Structure 1
Amino acid sequence: MTYITDKNIKNKDFSVKALDLADYENCNFSDCIFSGANLSGYNFEDCSFENCDFSNTKITNAAFKNVSFKNCKLIGLQFDECNPFLLEFSFDGCSLNYASFYQLKIKNTRFNRCTIHEVDFSETDLTKAVFSECDLAGAIFSCANLQKADLRNSINLVLDPEQNKLSGAHFSLDMLPGLLGKYRIKVD
């Protein structure tokens, strides 16, 4: 496989002409369109993506090792299908609506100012994850590990404390209705 390192890739539309299949290391992608593309089997290590559109991109067995996404559209991405080996990424100002992180081990992951509507975090290990200023409307947390996670500055969180591991997790008082919703308790 081809090895590409230290490249800045700007304003490319990979939904029309595919990105060269390669191992990408220390590359920066900005203002690129990957929407509907097939990135299955690609490897990205120490890469950054800024203002990129990945809507409905196929990422089966793609590797994301220390990858940052900033102001990207990641709608409908099935992160649970990517390569779990050394999987590590962060999200800043991204739209992750309808994505899936099902059963992934993504400890210490940072989600900053993200829209995370209807995202599946079922059985996901989010130990020490940080959700800062995120909108979690409709996000699914079922049998998730949120131990020592920080969700204090986020909104629209609904989860069942009996179905998730929450020891040491941080929540704000405003989140109390979302944590007690199953009990039909009204908090004023």
Structure 2
Amino acid sequence: MVSNPIRVTSLAGEFIKSVIKPGDIVVDATAGTGQDTLLLAECTGASGCVYAFDIQEEALKIIQDKLVIKGVESFVTLIHQGHETMKEVLESKGVMNNTVKAIVFNLGYLPGGDHRVATSGTTTLMALDGALKLLAPQGIITVCLYPGHSEGLRESEKVLNWCESLEKPFVAHHFQTLNRKLPPTLVIIQRMR
């Protein structure tokens, strides 16, 4: 029996684990505390390649320490840039379109960090546009949305509207708790071919 509600980040992790395998190229677009980065590194292994983006140096230092403790730092590249630069940065590193198996977004602000430093709808949509081009066939994008604060609500609405406009070969799903006001929600975007 489940004693606590299922977190959207845990649900996203289950989808990620079902898609990626050792050797895949994957991206944590908003690395934050590094939980998703670690999951990606553990799933892709030493033969894979994980790119983790964050605009806060503080977050990247926390992640680096976690990676070292787990012994996976050698196959993770930490990038001190915003997620809106993802496509250009990865292209400069030789990552081609249609080759990234999973891209993870956990929007909002760094837990325990400065809440004034947060993702925004404008940069997130830029990042998602780039992510679609990078995504491999049968790959997924996970997006955890946090509409419980004003900027998060605006960002969530922009992301959901953007998702509704997606055409083939992409399919977008939206998972949410129905009996809570403005709960965190999860979007999964699949590339079918």
TM-score by length of 2: 0.29
Ranked by relative contact order (alpha carbons within 8 Å, sequence separation 6 or more), the top structure is: 2
More helix by proportion, 1 or 2? 2
Please say which structure displays the higher CA radius of gyration: 1
